[in-house]
Amino acid sequence: MDGLLLDTEPLWGISMMEVAQKHQVPVSLAQLRFTTGLRIYEVTDYWKQRFPWPGKASAQQIAEEILDDIIARTIIEGGILPGVVSTLELLRKEGVQLGLATSSPTRMLQQLIHHFGLTDYFASMVSADTAISGKPHPEVYLQCAHALNVSSWNSVAFEDSVNGMVAAKAARMKVVVVPEAAKHNNPAFGLADLKLNSLEEFSIEAWHRLKD
């Protein structure tokens, strides 16, 4: 969801830093890269261990405040990324069952996908907050495939991050990656079956090649 369907990635850093500063968590913007891909509750647990803060706010409380902020901020400032709706429509016309597997918490998933009118595209939506392990562990992808009643090895995942790509590959899925521009040339993305600059580049021909 984040960074692939919705333009939330830049907003996460803003929300995290705003709440961190409110609670005097001594973490810098540069240090956020060490928790990229972790679930928000794992991020604030990491902060508690590495950057202890004064006051009585728990890691759970700070995570919930970040979620409140990122949800509200995305509704005001975020949007659907280019090519998302056309790709979803293309796949739906092909009769493809669509599932959404995300590291974002369930309440964020449900509120934002509903707000942006994307709910009806997905037969299943699975959050990694119900999984024992988040990405790059494949559990959330395996759960999503199970919910769709399809084999993971007969599925294609769309991702924007290395951790997500690794998770999908570990689930034996083919992977289409759409990295953010600053990370597009990361050689790790060579593991993907297809790399795009934007979902606007995705086509029916690309889909049939992935199925072969």
We report the CATH number of the domain holding residue 94 as: 3.40.50.1000
Confidence band, pLDDT 50/70/90 cuts, at residue 52: very high
Residue 16 and residue 23: Cα distance in Å, rounded?
A: 11
Pair (63, 104) in one structural domain: no
How much is the pTM?
A: 0.91
User: pLDDT per residue over 14-24, tens digit each?
Assistant: 999 999 999 99
> Would residue 3 count as lying in a domain?
no
Q: What is the pLDDT of residue 19?
A: 97
Asked if 71 and 101 sit in the same domain, the reply is: no
Q: What torsion, rounded to 10 degrees, do the Cα atoms 100, 118, 76, 34 define?
A: 10
| Domain annotation covers residue 4 | no
Number of domains in the chain: 2
Residue 1 inside a domain? The answer is no
Residue 17 lies in a domain: yes
Both 177 and 128 in a single domain? yes
Residues 50 and 154 in one domain: no
Do 30 and 125 lie in one domain? The reply is: no
C-alpha angle 159/190/211, rounded to 5°? 60
Give all strands (DSSP E) within the chain, no chain letters: 99-102, 124-127, 156-159, 174-177, 194-195
Residue 195: its pLDDT value, please? 98
Q: Given 77, 93, 110, which residue is the final one in a domain?
A: 77
Q: Is 68 a member of any domain?
A: yes
Whether residues 97 and 13 share a domain: the answer is no
Whether 70 shows a pLDDT value over 90: the answer reads yes
Please check whether residue 13 lies inside any domain of the structure. Answer: yes
Tell whether 198 and 95 lie within a shared domain. Answer: yes
**148 and 182 belong to one structural domain:** yes
- The answer, yes or no, to whether residue 212 has pLDDT greater than 90, is no
114 and 193 inside one domain = yes
Band (141; pLDDT cuts 50, 70, 90): very high
In the predicted model, is pLDDT for residue 140 greater than 90?
yes
Are 204 and 115 in a shared domain?
Answer: yes
- Where a domain ends, among 77, 104, 129? 77
β pairing state of 99-102 and 124-127: parallel
Q: Which of 77, 92, 121 is the last residue of a domain?
A: 77
Q: In the predicted model, what is the mean pLDDT of residues 36-47?
A: 90
- Interval 87-102: pLDDT, tens: 999 999 999 999 999 9
Q: Which domain holds residue 201?
A: 84-211
Once rounded to an integer, what is the mean pLDDT over residues 184-203? 97
Compute the distance between CA of residue 181 and CA of residue 120 in angstroms, rounded to an integer: 29
Confidence of residue 9 (pLDDT cuts 50, 70, 90): confident
